Amino acid sequence: MPIQILPDDVASQIAAGEVVERPASVAKELIENSLDAHATYIQIRIMQAGQSLIQVSDDGDGIPSEELSLAVARHATSKIHDASNLFSIQTLGFRGEALASIGSVSKLLIISRPKKAEFGSRIEVEGGQLTLQEKVGVPVGTVVRVENLFYNVPARLKFLKQPSTERNRINELITRYALAYSGVRWQLFQDNQAILQTSGSGDNREALVQLYGIDVARQMVEVTMEDNETKISGFISPISLTRSNRKEITFFVNGRWIQDGSLTTALLQAYHTLLMIGRYPMAVLFIKLPPGELDVNVHPAKAEVRFRDSNYIFSTVQRAVRRALLAYSPIQPLSPPRWQHTSQPQIIDPAWQMASELKSSNGNIETQTSIESPQQSSLPSGQIPLLRLIGQIGAVYLVAEGPDGLYLIDQHAAHERVLFEQFQKLPNKNILSQSLLEPVIIHLPPQNAQLLTSHLSFLSKYGFKIEEFGPNTFRIMAIPVLLIDTDPASVVKSVVEEFEEDETPLQGEIESRLIARICKRSAIKAGQILTVDEQRALLNNLETCQSPRTCPHGRPTMIHLSIDLMERQFGRRGSR
């Protein structure tokens, strides 16, 4: 065959193959248009999993009637004007091909009226051909109706999955956008059944409740971090709330839902060692960065982006998540805490209880300090009451009794916490250095030696006196008093590992991470039999901790079985 330029409708159908793969991709293009048009209300109606109808109505800016036929032409857009705009894109659309593509593989109807226009207009397109244009009286906004999707592309129809799968994809899509745009009031109907409705209040946690239910929403930990012009925000699940797959991990970059394996990897690394193998967190994270840092023009369906400095973005995501996780102290008791210092009867106000739980899950360190309800001398949230030691079991756990039941304490995690807080309390860390009777010599691989060399003065603030002692060799002269019972070489090596993990950590964060690492290495181990005095000392120290319920890495130090729970379990009291 000779070379020919393809007719327009064939070219459109080819382009449509990339942009509209399935009903959910049509829905995505349409809601993105509504969002670009500043809609505050978006309604989506789906019939037969999108095959017979996908309709999106909004109260946005509308399309002037003289531009309506252009909206369905290929490469027609109001969002960019020249190539330079491609690197400062603030809208979700910019390619100007969605409506044209959709129109070439369906029966498309658009009704629209801009705010200032007296009338609206309506056009119809079938298989890419404009079949009707007329004036109509309609409310302000736009309705786009897509019927008989892929009626003229039978091959595409065959590739669609089960209706239930296609329906789910649409639900997933709308749910995510509803979270990302919580200021928009969303409604989704499938076959006339309401699937999702949000209030549009703009409160992200409220949107979480509407989408995931109160139970999950209450547990999600808030992430916020700003670094230069990059902002990371959103919600992640605590380590106690996991899924068996990565499906509930969502990233929005500059308001755009992005499927990006490396962002997911960055997130998973932040949870490293905190989750069991095969378990995954839930997360909805919003990344905002200057448009110039991003190339959005890499994928026809705009589901991928390229970052100018991807390493920076990944490490920032990781740090933001890690920091939120470490600051978060899960609510450990199996029933709400009811103890108090005095023996007066205590009134529990459920609203207060919930408010404090919500507060303590917002990922802020400050919330671990006291939250007092009026006229009530209960313990500050997160702290534990005085405990009576019962003993040690399995050389792993301590058993103790509190005013409200039984406590099982992980001796290793508990000791880690105690050391961690003792370290942080030291006013001037270097006065508490203890010289070794005999200096210890260590050898390190060259890259680690370099890392250690560059951190020697930093370490001296914490009581480590280490000198270079030949190539890749160091002499440990002194270590912090707190660590005097440990093996100096292994402590220093683990410190170097911590430097290795992230080469550009934030100041302040490295400090607590370093201390956490040292404490982990120095804490008593599971399997170590403790004398009664040692057990008691550990308990007493734990009682004085600010955040006794978790180890510095966020794992629980204890399980609390309340009397209330025991009574119910033993059938002494009917369940409420």
Identify whether the C-beta of residue 236 lies closer than 8 Å to the C-beta of residue 326: no
**Could you tell me how many residues of this chain bind ligand ADP (CB under 6 A)?**
23
* Residue with the CB atom nearest Mg ion in the bound state: 93
- The Cβ of residue 484 has, within 10 Å, a number of other Cβ atoms equal to 12
> Minimum distance from CB of 190 to ligand ADP (Å)?
21
Distance between CA atoms of 51 and 147, rounded to whole angstroms? 7
Determine if 33 is a binding residue for Mg ion (CB under 5 A): yes
Identify whether the C-beta of residue 239 lies closer than 8 Å to the C-beta of residue 554: yes
- The number of CA neighbours under 13 Å toward the Cβ of 188 is 25
> Minimum distance from CB of 190 to Mg ion (Å)?
23
Torsion of CA 98, 99, 100, 105, to 10 degrees: 90
Token representation of residue 208: 């979480």
Token representation of residue 256: 């755009």
Q: Which does 78 bind (CB under 5 to 8 A by kind): Mg ion, ligand ADP, none?
A: ligand ADP
- The window from 33-41, 246-254, 286-294, 553-561 that contacts ligand ADP (CB under 6 A) reads 33-41
> Minimum distance from CB of 87 to Mg ion (Å)?
19
Determine if 62 is a binding residue for ligand ADP (CB under 6 A): yes
- Per the listing, tokens 């933001």 go with 320
- The window from 54-62, 245-253, 288-296, 433-441 that contacts ligand ADP (CB under 6 A) reads 54-62
* Listed residue (331, 336, 326, 332) closest to 363, CA to CA: 326
Distance between CA atoms of 56 and 144, rounded to whole angstroms? 5
Identify whether the C-beta of residue 125 lies closer than 8 Å to the C-beta of residue 83: no
> Minimum distance from CB of 88 to ligand ADP (Å)?
15
Distance between CA atoms of 186 and 447, rounded to whole angstroms? 54
> Minimum distance from CB of 56 to ligand ADP (Å)?
7
User: What is the amino acid identity at position 188?
Assistant: L
> Minimum distance from CB of 108 to ligand ADP (Å)?
11
Q: In the complex with ligand ADP, which residue's Cβ is closer, 37 or 54?
A: 37
Determine if 126 is a binding residue for ligand ADP (CB under 6 A): no
Q: Which does 333 bind (CB under 5 to 8 A by kind): Mg ion, ligand ADP, none?
A: none
Determine if 466 is a binding residue for ligand ADP (CB under 6 A): no
- The window from 94-102, 164-172, 349-357, 507-515 that contacts Mg ion (CB under 5 A) reads 94-102
Distance between CA atoms of 191 and 44, rounded to whole angstroms? 11
Determine if 98 is a binding residue for Mg ion (CB under 5 A): yes
Q: In the complex with ligand ADP, which residue's Cβ is closer, 63 or 449?
A: 63
> Minimum distance from CB of 301 to Mg ion (Å)?
11
Binding mask 82-121 for ligand ADP (x = CB under 6 A): -----------xxxxxxxx---------------------
Determine if 37 is a binding residue for ligand ADP (CB under 6 A): yes
Single residue of 41, 64, 69, 79 touching ligand ADP by CB under 6 A? 79
In angstroms, what CA-CA distances link 458 with 21, 431, 511? Answer: 55, 14, 9
Determine if 407 is a binding residue for ligand ADP (CB under 6 A): no
> Minimum distance from CB of 99 to ligand ADP (Å)?
4
Single residue of 93, 281, 405, 552 touching Mg ion by CB under 5 A? 93
* Listed residue (525, 496, 526) closest to 513, CA to CA: 496
> Minimum distance from CB of 98 to ligand ADP (Å)?
3
> 3-state DSSP helix/strand/coil percent for the chain, to nearest 5?
40, 25, 40
> Minimum distance from CB of 302 to Mg ion (Å)?
9
Determine if 248 is a binding residue for ligand ADP (CB under 6 A): no
Strand partners, 189: 45, 194
* Listed residue (118, 130, 128) closest to 68, CA to CA: 130
User: What is the amino acid identity at position 359?
Assistant: K
Q: Which does 318 bind (CB under 5 to 8 A by kind): Mg ion, ligand ADP, none?
A: none
Single residue of 49, 71, 476, 524 touching ligand ADP by CB under 6 A? 71
* Residue with the CB atom nearest ligand ADP in the bound state: 93
The sign of the torsion formed by the CA atoms of 84, 90, 92, 97 equals negative
Single residue of 27, 53, 61, 274 touching ligand ADP by CB under 6 A? 61
* Listed residue (63, 66, 65) closest to 78, CA to CA: 63
Identify whether the C-beta of residue 258 lies closer than 8 Å to the C-beta of residue 298: no
Identify whether the C-beta of residue 142 lies closer than 8 Å to the C-beta of residue 60: yes
> Minimum distance from CB of 75 to Mg ion (Å)?
12
Single residue of 15, 58, 324, 488 touching ligand ADP by CB under 6 A? 58
Q: Which does 17 bind (CB under 5 to 8 A by kind): Mg ion, ligand ADP, none?
A: none
Q: DSSP string covering 479-545, please?
A: EEGGGTTS-HHHHHHHHHHHHHH-SSPPTTHHHHHHHHHHHHHHSPPTT----HHHHHHHHHHHHT-
Q: In the complex with ligand ADP, which residue's Cβ is closer, 68 or 326?
A: 68
> Minimum distance from CB of 7 to ligand ADP (Å)?
20
Determine if 55 is a binding residue for ligand ADP (CB under 6 A): no
Determine if 77 is a binding residue for ligand ADP (CB under 6 A): yes
Distance between CA atoms of 119 and 65, rounded to whole angstroms? 9
Distance between CA atoms of 286 and 304, rounded to whole angstroms? 15
Query: What is the contact surface with Mg ion in residues (CB under 5 A)?
Result: 33, 93, 98
Query: What is the contact surface with ligand ADP in residues (CB under 6 A)?
Result: 29, 33-34, 37, 58, 60-63, 71, 76-79, 93-100, 142
